[in-house]
Amino acid sequence: MKYIYIKTWGCQMNEYDSSMIANLLEKEKKYLLTSLIEKANILILNTCSIREKAQEKLFHQLGRWRKIKNKNPEIIIAVGGCVAVQEGKNIFKRANYVDIIFGTQTLHKLPKMISEIEKNKKHTIDISFPKLEKFKYASKPIKTKYTEMVSIMEGCNKHCSFCIVPYTRGHELSRPCNDILFEISSLAKQGVREINLLGQNVNAYKSLTFDGRICSFSKLIRLVAKIDGIDRIRFITSHPVEFTDDIIEVYKDTPKLVSFLHLPVQSGSNKILKSMKRLYTVEDYKLIVKKLTIVRPNIQISSDFIVGFPGESEQDFQQTMNLIKDINFDMSFSFIYSRRPKTPASKMKDNIQIEEKKKRLYILQNRINMQTMLWSRKMFGSTQSILVEGVSNKNIMELFGRTENNRIVTFKGSPKMIGKFVNLKINKIHTHSLKGTLI
């Protein structure tokens, strides 16, 4: 038997890509996925470049893998993902024991690249952008999970001044509508009950239906909702500029779409938003949320925040804190600004001391955590519909599932409930998780 070991860093898109890699190599090369690195014939590192010093993290990991290859020179080391696109041949220069470098859009070429290495023992690299070819080649396995991610598009055209994604994932490309619906229908037949539509900017999705009509993101959600067996729909990630009224209308008439939205805002200061090239104002963002709460009064919003962006004053930061209070965000992903290569912001003067950045991040995260707990407390004593996903990792005598607002709930129940929806009464509250009893 031959085995592959995959280490994945970064976003849900990377997780999705890694699953495609595993499935593809099992089908084309008869490799089995292993969690034991010492069993592997191929080591694959799927990287993320969204944070600062991503390349140094890569080379530190490769240094550890070099020791493994020194003991067994036949092991193949492959590097993919966003840092692979960012660094390209420089990876070979610093780590000449790496065999394969592949890009975010060329993972489907891995079987051929592996064959070349096995035959010629020479480095091979392909970090090109052949549009959405990978979806034509990568197959999906039989599913054992009941909630699944489905990629609907890749890339981004927004070119925010701080973001490296357009350079590592390319421009926006939407998968054909029929391909997406076929994949989701196949998953539904295998028992999947919840779908998470995935993309760097899902609101920009646009394709053609089988009869030649334009399929927008709002239309796609409605089509997914019609698929038998799919009872819950999520999506990530959105950009406020394209969160248009037709998407808001879907929340009004599509109950399968959850009452929880991740809508990155990044800053509460119009000055900083302009410097970030986000193309909207705080007032625009608030209007979107207002419209959403009219059609879904119980909707909860999470967001992204960047703290310490070049030029951010104390007043700018306070405006962000005011927005957090006004919107009453449920959760957030928040980070200190990271200078990324090739981005316009990397040329801006960074005039904020790291100690001040850390202080602001602490204040922001502490406030969000307080609001998260307040949202959780509102759920105490309520009845929640839960998709049971499996046995709890912390207690094998309990099952777990998720609420619409993305909180994990553990409870005592029968294994026969796995893959089904059950109603629970919430009787214990933690900041990011809950406990319940069957009704």
Which residues are documented as binding site for [4Fe-4S] cluster?
11, 48, 82, 156, 160, 163
Residue 184 is given by DSSP the state H
Altogether, the residues listed in the chain come to a count of: 439
Instruction: For tokens 């949202």, name the residue.
Output: 375
Q: SS3 for 86?
A: helix
Give residues with Cβ within 8 angstroms of 201, minimum separation 6: 153, 156, 157, 158, 172, 237, 238, 239, 242
**Cα dihedral 169, 110, 47, 408 sign:** positive
Taking alpha carbons only, the member of 265, 266, 202 closest to residue 237 is 202
Q: SS3 for 81?
A: strand
CA angle (135 as vertex; 29, 84 as ends), nearest 5:
75
Element (H, E) at 154: strand 153-154
Give residues with Cβ within 8 angstroms of 214, minimum separation 6: 206, 207, 208
* Longest pairwise C-alpha distance within the chain: 65
CA angle (81 as vertex; 25, 142 as ends), nearest 5:
35
- Cβ(413)–Cβ(241) under 8 Å? no
Q: How far apart are CA 37 and CA 35, in angstroms?
A: 6
Give residues with Cβ within 8 angstroms of 24, minimum separation 6: 107, 108, 110, 111, 137, 138, 139
- No. of helices (H) and no. of strands (E), the chain: 14, 21
Residue 257 is given by DSSP the state B
Q: SS3 for 100?
A: strand
Element (H, E) at 260: strand 260-262
In the annotated binding site, the residues are 11, 48, 82, 156, 160, 163
Q: How far apart are CA 369 and CA 432, in angstroms?
A: 9
Residue 3 is given by DSSP the state E
Determine phi and psi for 183, rounding to 5 degrees: -65, -45
- Cβ(368)–Cβ(332) under 8 Å? yes
Taking alpha carbons only, the member of 63, 88, 66, 64 closest to residue 75 is 66
Measured CA to CA in angstroms, residue 229 lies from 26, 250, 256, 395 at distances of 28, 19, 11, 29
